[in-house]
């Protein structure tokens, strides 16, 4: 089975570190880890206007990422609540 490497933008690292509550951060981190196995899981949405970005939901939180199939890399771009993660 092909596994993708997970990379993070500096912005995504900062946003993940800012989530202090383990009840919030643990499911988000698990969802990111699952992207290594399936970068386009059921429920993911390709972002309109962003040719290469996708998002998955974890409760009220969003993980915005891009998939680089040629390199087998998923780059986590942003992590945040719905209103703050786009743009």
Half-sphere exposure of 82 (CA within 13 A, CB side): 4
- Give yes or no for residue 83 having a pLDDT over 80: no
The domain spanning residue 44 has which CATH number?
Answer: 3.30.2310.20
pTM of the model: 0.92
Mind listing the pLDDT tens digit for each residue in 16-55?
999 999 899 999 999 999 999 999 999 999 998 867 899 9
Nearest by Cα to 17 from 68, 87, 76, 66 = 76
Domain that holds residue 59: 5-85
Q: How many domains does the chain have?
A: 1
Q: Cα angle at 58 between 1 and 53, to 5 degrees?
A: 65
């Amino acid at each position: 089975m092909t596994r993708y490497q997970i990379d993070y933008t500096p912005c995504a690292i900062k946003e993940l570190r800012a989530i202090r509550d383990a009840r919030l951060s643990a499911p988000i981190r698990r969802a990111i880890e699952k992207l290594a196995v399936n970068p386009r899981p059921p429920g993911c949405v390709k972002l309109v206007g962003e040719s290469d970005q996708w998002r998955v939901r974890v409760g009220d939180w969003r993980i915005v990422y891009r998939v680089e199939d040629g390199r087998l890399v998923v780059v986590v771009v942003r992590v945040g609540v719905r209103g703050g993660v786009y743009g």
